Chain A
């Protein structure tokens, strides 16, 4: 049986690294004294675990507490923005799969229900707004990181930047390669064959090929070409690299209070836009069922996708709220 020091060390691991760096030693000493006095206390263990989880949520910018010192508040705002970026990526990854299914369907035939047509219009409009917001949010952060790298202040930023660029390059090259195989686009991103340019729809489809119910049907999956299967496994990893690199760079770049406020406003606008997108998706799912065999027939994967998007949106809203509380 392990003694108080070992048990205290195990309990402290519930807390995030940054917290442990600041309070780890003294907290461990307190736990050792507590454990020596009262070896068994489930309520104490539960309290430490709860405190650790709260500290981890705070570290991810998903919850806050009392007003903090400006430096800590800015760090929490950056953490909130990083979490918001991760949630938006999950939302768009799944949402992009649903949206591309609808706009590609429109390339072949017009929607057979008004609900599907309205939903596709709404989702297409919000995709455009989200793309604009993402661009507005990314440019100043990219500029800040680039300036720091140019001035030799690459400490902690070089690896996430490289991770982001590698993930982005893989997604663009792979998405273009597999999107080109889609009939009707001829490899031209702006070839117009439906509601949106065919190449854009095909790129979105190819980038989100991994969001599919085929994972539940291994026999059908085995019939896929090897290159496509490889891409289905590789693209989520590339997306994860892209998002992890971006989130880490946001957390480590010393963004000014004004820029943090600007990013926080964009985050709030993105949450509203994502909610409208989700509304469009729900309208499609709950509207009159398209006729059998229709290209717009929703499946169980689409319902599950909307549930994931709702969850991601909920966490994104919480992160956006925290990110706006920080910078004074």
Chain B
């Protein structure tokens, strides 16, 4: 599936990109709102330079798009391709998490 590989070219920005896509899954947000939202659900503060590098790459890939705004703070929203990519990315992460938790339970006992 093409979307499985969509974040492959992001290199060190794949992590921030996944967090941004996850944050936009419940609606459009501008830069600062993204930073605060990601901090609240992931406990990670994405620095401004890194955030905008990831945003630029996501937009160039067509995974997110800017929303028309009269405000200087431009919001971004998820596209159809972005939603499919996020789903594929999270499915892959869940498979890894499931395997890891199952093996931990087998080798080290239940948590």
Footprint of B on A, CB under 8 Å? 23, 25-31, 33-34, 43-44, 47-52, 54-55, 65-69, 72
Contacts and interface: CB of A to CB of B under 8 A. Distances in A.
Contacts of B13: 65-66
13 contacts: A26-B72, A28-B72, A30-B52, A47-B48, A47-B49, A47-B50, A48-B48, A50-B49, A51-B48, A51-B49, A65-B53, A66-B57, A66-B60
Interface in B1-32: 9-11, 13, 30-32
B35 A51 contact: no
A29 B9 contact: no
A306 to B, nearest CB: 34
A27 B60 contact: no
A50 B12 CA distance: 14
Contacts of B74: 25-26
A52 B35 CA distance: 19
A29 B48 contact: no
B51 interface: yes
Nearest to B51: A30
A107 B62 CA distance: 62
A65 B101 CA distance: 34
Contact of A27 (B10, B11, B31, B61): B31
B31 A65 contact: no
Interface residues of B, number: 23
A27 B61 CA distance: 20
Nearest to B46: A47
Q: Looking at B11, B48, B57, B74, which has the most chain A CB atoms within 10 Å of its CB?
A: B48
Q: Could you tell me the dominant secondary structure of chain A's interface residues?
A: helix
Interface in B60-100: 60-62, 72-74
Contacts of B61: 66-68
Given A31-B48, A66-B9, A26 B73 contact: yes
A33 B47 contact: no
Contacts of A66: 9-11, 13, 57, 60-61
Contact of A65 (B9, B32, B48): B9
B32 A51 contact: no
Nearest to A47: B47
Nearest to B6: A66
Contacts of A69: 60, 62
A280 B57 CA distance: 42
B56 interface: yes
Given A26-B31, A29-B73, A51 B50 contact: yes
